[in-house]
Structure 1
């Protein structure tokens, strides 16, 4: 794939560079557990949810805003994503996409990453997060 083709592909996947960088800067400022959850959701969305570049940029910006507000309010991750992170992500992405095929490995990875983010939250506060 040539550099021009890669550039076109990346802009379709992540949208305009400026918006992507701004989104990544916002995510970097999140507390570690919220950042871990956002990065897991981001990874899932980038690989398995087809959208156009404007939808992707809006989707990631909205994801950052959701987790920024949750972190500011002290909202536990499970309260954001619910009991089934896949259901949350698919519903979230449904606002931006018609959906797509998701392999079992990707579903397991997302669930494992969300659980790891929850454990990190329990370690940071010195208590387990029991929110379901």
Structure 2
């Protein structure tokens, strides 16, 4: 049986991991923190999944990459390349199919709605 608090607030472990990720990002040098903010925003808007555990894993991996790059003194441009969106799409490709996608859910919903519309049209036409 799930913890009653988790029923109201969601998975507490995911929330703890999210807070840990945010704390890690705060420890990055200023430029890397700003890059993390932009990359995080991109993931939240264009990410391939919307389930907590996959998102937490994705952000942990992103924090690992940024921490290692900062420790090695690697310029941010060398991390993300000339096209940061392309970099993020490549990064996100590793997570596609590993969790629930709101985009896939909406595609299924659209297909179902169109199927129902065609059935209704056929019924009205007496087919």
**After TM superposition, is the score higher than 0.5?**
yes
Q: Which residue number in structure 2 is paired with residue 61 of structure 1?
A: 60
Residues 83-94 of structure 1 mapped to structure 2, 5 A cutoff: 83-94=82-93
Cα contact 1:49–1:100 (8 A) shared by 2: no
Distance 1:5 1:85 in 2: 38
- Displacement, 1:50? 3.2
Residues 6-21 of structure 1 mapped to structure 2, 5 A cutoff: 7-8=9-10, 16-21=14-19
| 5+ residue gaps, structure 1 | 102-132
Q: Which residue number in structure 2 is paired with residue 25 of structure 1?
A: 23
- For residue 91 of structure 1, give the secondary structure of its aligned residue in structure 2: helix
- Displacement, 1:35? 0.6
Cα contact 1:30–1:71 (8 A) shared by 2: yes
- For residue 16 of structure 1, give the secondary structure of its aligned residue in structure 2: helix
- Displacement, 1:58? 0.6
Distance 2:75 2:16 in 1: 30
What TM-score, normalized to structure 1? 0.63
Cα contact 1:16–1:53 (8 A) shared by 2: yes
Cα contact 2:48–2:92 (8 A) shared by 1: no
What TM-score, normalized to structure 2? 0.65
Divergent runs of 4+, >3 A: 4-8, 98-101
* Alignment: residue pair count: 93
Distance 1:93 1:6 in 2: 30
Q: Which among 27, 31, 38 is matched to residue 40 of structure 1?
A: 38
| 5+ residue gaps, structure 2 | 1-5, 104-127
C-alpha RMSD over aligned residues: 2.3
Larger of the two Rg values belongs to structure: 2
